[in-house]
Structure 1
Amino acid sequence: MQLKVLLPSEIFFENDDVERIVAETREGSFGILPHRLDCVAALAPGILTYQETNRSPVYLAVDEGVLAKVGMKVLVSVRRAVRGTDLGQLHDAVKQQFLTLNDQERQVREALRKLESTFAGRLAEFSRER
């Protein structure tokens, strides 16, 4: 199978010799073999495993995204991804990259919440003045 992993700004990974794939959704993990029916799945943050023909499994830590299988092509589109062959090192890399970004996202969301709250309060005041 051909596996292509896309990030918002680049093609993260591409391989034309993939034998099997295991991906995670919110409902659990599922496997993809070459002759599986075409499908689309919403991916949960987790580990995507793929194996090249006659090789050891390789692991990708992925953020939430979408997986689509059409024929022998599997396209994965996620916000972030980290590649590794050792799950321990991959775990450390995920903690370093993903959790830092999650803290930044929380700060941005909090700032937006405060901005919306202030805007809503001023809009309510304006409506009462009329």
Structure 2
Amino acid sequence: MSTASQMQVHLRLPSSVLFDGAATRLRAEAEDGGFGILPNHVDFVTALVPSVLLLSEPDGRERFFGIDEGLLVKKGHAVDVAVHRGIESDDLDSLRARVVRSFAEIEDEERVARTALSRLEAEMVRRFASLRKMQP
């Protein structure tokens, strides 16, 4: 087994990549509590809960991500993280405010989309009902 000083981390959203790069450690939250991963950590899979994901880059810089629920897969020296929603911030102090603001905007957009879909479905039902009435 080879030992490595860093691992490749891919943090993905449904429609974009939030982070793709090297890290020397990662800290996240699962349903059963917080955990840390170093490059030579054993392979595993876990479900993530809404929390802060912390990455340490090889140059010592720490990156903070506010994430929604997701999945983390550690295999070899690669860590793949897929989350429904996420946002990066320079520090923990501003992260909370940015997460609240960003997630609220996303929820508003999703609410508008659900409303539009409901209207479309209702219109479709009305049209099918009118076609039924027209049948002999």
For the aligned pair, the TM-score class normalised by the smaller chain equals: 0.7 to 0.9
1:103 Cα offset (Å): 5.7
Q: 1:58 aligns with which of 63, 79, 84?
A: 63
Q: Which residue matches 1:94?
A: 99
What TM-score do the two structures reach when normalised by structure 1?
Answer: 0.75
Q: For each residue in 1:41-85, what CA deviation from the matched residue of structure 2 results, as whole angstroms up to 9, or x when unmatched?
A: 100011000101241321111110000000000000001111112
User: How many angstroms apart in 2 are the aligned matches of 1:56 and 1:12?
Assistant: 16
Q: 2:14 aligns with which of 5, 8, 11?
A: 8
Preserved contact between residue 68 and residue 86 of structure 2 (Cα < 8 Å): yes
User: How many angstroms apart in 2 are the aligned matches of 1:14 and 1:105?
Assistant: 27
Q: Which residue matches 1:27?
A: 32
Q: Which residue matches 1:122?
A: none
Q: Which residue matches 1:81?
A: 86
User: How many angstroms apart in 1 are the aligned matches of 2:90 and 2:79?
Assistant: 20
Structure 1: segments with no counterpart, 5+ residues: 113-130
Instruction: Within 5 Å, give how 1:102-121 maps onto structure 2.
Output: 102=107, 108=114
User: How many angstroms apart in 1 are the aligned matches of 2:93 and 2:53?
Assistant: 15
- Structure with higher Rg: it is 2
What TM-score do the two structures reach when normalised by structure 2?
Answer: 0.72
Residue 48 (str. 1) matches residue 90 (str. 2): no
Residue 54 to residue 88, structure 1, CA distance change in 2 (3 Å): same
Aligned CA-pair RMSD: 2.2
1:97 Cα offset (Å): 1.1
Alignment coverage as a number of residue pairs: 112
Identical positions, percent: 37
SS in 1 for 2:102: helix
User: How many angstroms apart in 1 are the aligned matches of 2:36 and 2:57?
Assistant: 14
Structure 2: segments with no counterpart, 5+ residues: 1-6, 119-136
